[in-house]
């Protein structure tokens, strides 16, 4: 199968090492002009520094969307799926661009630009977050939507992929202005039929969180008052608004589960000259947001040493040899709003250089394209665990693998968020929280068991109150959530590992192969309408 790669004329991806790599691999390169959307958009001026991931193009790497296509094509070349189905899987079904005015607090009117991409409708609803960032555009949104399609398929969550974005720097707007933006964006989605419990269910992403999701829910329910399942139109909500216990830490916990399984596999770690287990291993984490912060928490709790953390405004490097004091770093970050200046470690102003420090595991947990052809050769980690979406470009992957670095792919590693979003969606559709019908029944059954054991032992034997309370305790909602998440991540990891061994490919290609086969099966069985 010949690999066809689309390059945009005028983009730096049409020259340099990326084009040379494609030509050397025998890929058929098709050049085209970027699809322009007719618009009178007023560009929003921002002094915010563009995230480092978007500088990867300067090194000759493909764009984010092109990277996703390249990874897909690599797996498609060895898949058993027919070309017509592959084309159907790869295509982005819908991309919506909206523009609307915002009356700012200072009395001026600003034109706001937003996007929503629905990549695949092989399963409904489609699912994916909404981010707010100054670099949001159609290509980025489509790339993230495609990753959501494949991610859901890998972990067997019955959603198609989607993604949304609003092109603003949220730090430059007041709370009232952000609320107005979110509510108007939601109303545009409602008008275009791009949101609903059975259609398209957003979630938090970079620059958004539970508060924004609460505004989305409230707006949808006001515009669709007859939808009894309205609260299921969005996930990642506050608990008080129908959210689910355990959603906030879900992505980080999913990353931890997969890392734990990999590092507990004696065969895999032996190939890297490492010993088994997390304890004592050294970790560097890029990003101290929701994903990075919780990932660090669980690794630290399991005995791993966090030796450095990188953020946009600088980073911390441990000099004690024992790893950073994570509880103290978290407390400092909560108080100061930054990790720089933390007294228990060395502060480095140029955060990207932190990625190149020696460690066992490097965890990029920020934005896409953070490891590219310009810095991949300097990475000294043995494992790169992709907690972010698309943090490693195809050129960087080649360089890393030539240096015997193992990459644990984003399609699996950061799927914890959408997995628990699925649980929240189910909770909202059922109009009841997990454990409500079973908790007391479980406790009664366990008390009967404890009493029976005490009677069997005889001689007045009685378990202590501490033991009784621990054994008898019924499962709460978060117990169900964490159990379901662990089962999902572990079973998916075993599947990816098995395919990688059988097909003699890396873990990313194995994950894509699983996604392609599952989506292809759906299309084959469903047929074509009409």
**Sorting pLDDT into bands at 50, 70 and 90, what band is 454?**
confident
- DSSP H or E run through 131: strand 126-132
8 A C-beta contact, residue 502 and residue 170: no
pLDDT of residue 50: 36
Q: Which domains does the chain have, with CATH numbers?
A: 250-413 (3.40.50.720), 432-526 (no CATH)
User: In the chain, pLDDT over 70 holds for what percent of residues?
Assistant: 89
8 A C-beta contact, residue 154 and residue 118: no
Q: Flag whether pLDDT at 156 surpasses 50.
A: yes
CA distances from 444 to 440, 469, 471, 479 (A): 6, 12, 11, 18
pLDDT of residue 456: 86
The gap from C-alpha 506 to its chain's centroid, in whole angstroms, comes to 20
Annotated ligand binding at 237? The verdict is no
Among the options 9, 74, 103, 163, which is catalytic? 163
Q: Flag whether pLDDT at 153 surpasses 80.
A: yes
Number of helices followed by number of strands (H, E) in the chain: 17, 14
Query: Rounded to an integer, what distance in angstroms lies between the CA atom of residue 242 and that of residue 237?
Result: 6
pLDDT of residue 351: 77
**Sorting pLDDT into bands at 50, 70 and 90, what band is 7?**
very low
Residue 281 annotated as catalytic: no
Annotated ligand binding at 33? The verdict is no
Q: What's the mean pLDDT in 445-456?
A: 89
Closest CA to 29 of 59, 62, 3: 3
Closest CA to 99 of 144, 43, 171: 43
Annotated ligand binding at 290? The verdict is yes
pLDDT of residue 57: 54
Q: What's the mean pLDDT in 378-399?
A: 97
**Sorting pLDDT into bands at 50, 70 and 90, what band is 36?**
very low
Running DSSP on this structure, what letter comes out for residue 506?
Answer: -
> pLDDT (tens digit, 9 = 90+) per residue, 474-524?
899 999 999 999 999 999 999 999 999 999 999 999 999 999 999 999 999
Phi, psi of 428 (to 5 degrees): -65, -40
Running DSSP on this structure, what letter comes out for residue 414?
Answer: T
- Mapped onto helix, strand or coil, the DSSP state of residue 309 is strand
What's the whole-model pTM score?
0.86
Q: Flag whether pLDDT at 38 surpasses 90.
A: no
> pLDDT (tens digit, 9 = 90+) per residue, 173-192?
999 999 999 999 999 999 99
**Sorting pLDDT into bands at 50, 70 and 90, what band is 287?**
very high
> pLDDT (tens digit, 9 = 90+) per residue, 255-272?
999 999 999 999 999 999
- The DSSP annotation for 392-456 comes to B-HHHHHHHHHTT-EEE-HHHHTTHHHHHHHHHHHHHHHTS-TTTTTHHHHHHHHHHHHHHHHHH
Per the listing, tokens 């189910």 go with 426
Looking at every residue in the chain, the average pLDDT score rounds to: 89
Q: What's the mean pLDDT in 200-227?
A: 97
> pLDDT (tens digit, 9 = 90+) per residue, 311-328?
988 999 999 989 999 999
For 472, the token pair is 């008898």
pLDDT of residue 350: 80
Annotated ligand binding at 251? The verdict is yes
Closest CA to 246 of 405, 419, 410: 419
8 A C-beta contact, residue 371 and residue 396: yes
Between 44 and 59, the higher pLDDT residue: 59
């Amino acid at each position: 199968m010949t690999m066809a790669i689309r390059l945009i004329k005028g983009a730096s991806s049409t020259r340099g090492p990326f084009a040379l790599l494609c030509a050397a691999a025998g890929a058929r390169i098709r050049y085209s002009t970027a699809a322009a959307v007719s618009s009178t958009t007023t560009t929003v001026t921002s002094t915010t520094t563009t995230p480092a991931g978007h500088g990867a193009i300067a090194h000759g790497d493909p764009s984010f969307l092109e990277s996703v296509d390249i990874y897909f094509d690599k797996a498609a070349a060895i898949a058993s799926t027919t070309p017509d189905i592959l084309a159907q899987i790869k295509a982005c079904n819908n991309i919506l661009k909206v523009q609307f005015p915002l009356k700012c607090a200072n009395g001026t009117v600003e034109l706001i630009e937003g996007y929503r991409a629905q990549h695949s409708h092989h399963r409904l609803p489609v699912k994916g977050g909404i981010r707010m960032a100054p670099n949001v555009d159609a290509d980025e949104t489509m790339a993230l939507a495609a990753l959501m399609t494949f991610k859901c398929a890998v972990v067997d969550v019955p959603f198609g992929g989607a993604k949304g974005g609003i092109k603003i720097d949220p730090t430059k707007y007041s709370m009232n202005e952000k609320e107005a933006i979110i509510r108007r964006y939601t109303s545009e989605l409602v008008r275009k039929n791009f949101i609903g419990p059975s259609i398209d269910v957003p979630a938090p992403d970079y620059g958004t969180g539970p508060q924004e999701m609460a505004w989305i829910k409230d707006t949808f329910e006001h515009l669709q008052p007859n939808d009894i399942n309205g609260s299921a139109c969005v996930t990642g909500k506050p608990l008080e608004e129908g959210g689910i216990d355990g959603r906030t830490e879900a992505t980080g916990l999913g990353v931890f589960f997969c890392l734990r399984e990999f590092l507990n596999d004696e065969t895999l770690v032996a190939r890297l000259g490492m010993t088994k287990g997390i304890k004592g291993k050294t970790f560097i984490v890029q990003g101290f947001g929701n994903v990075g912060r919780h990932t660090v928490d669980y690794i630290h709790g399991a005995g791993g040493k966090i030796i450095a953390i990188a953020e946009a405004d600088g980073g911390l490097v441990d000099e004690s040899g024992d790893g950073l004091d994570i509880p103290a770093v978290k407390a400092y970050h909560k108080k100061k709003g930054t990790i720089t200046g933390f007294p228990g470690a060395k502060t480095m102003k140029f955060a990207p250089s932190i990625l190149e420090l020696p460690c066992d595991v490097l965890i990029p947990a920020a934005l896409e394209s953070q490891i590219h052809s310009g810095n991949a050769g300097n990475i000294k980690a043995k494992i790169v665990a992709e907690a972010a979406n698309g943090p490693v470009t195809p050129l960087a992957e080649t360089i890393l693998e030539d240096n015997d670095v193992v990459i644990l792919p984003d399609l699996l590693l950061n799927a914890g968020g959408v997995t628990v979003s699925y649980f929240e969606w189910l909770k909202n559709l059922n109009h009841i929280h997990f454990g409500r019908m079973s908790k007391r029944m479980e406790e009664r059954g366990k008390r009967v068991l404890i009493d029976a054991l005490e009677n069997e032992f005889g001689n007045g034997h009685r378990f202590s109150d501490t033991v009784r309370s621990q054994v008898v305790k019924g499962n709460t909602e978060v117990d169900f959530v964490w159990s379901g998440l662990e089962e999902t991540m572990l079973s998916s990891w075993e599947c990816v590992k098995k395919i990688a061994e059988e097909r003699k490919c890396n873990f990313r290609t194995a994950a894509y192969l699983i996604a392609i086969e599952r989506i292809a099966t759906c299309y084959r069985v469903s047929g074509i309408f009409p």
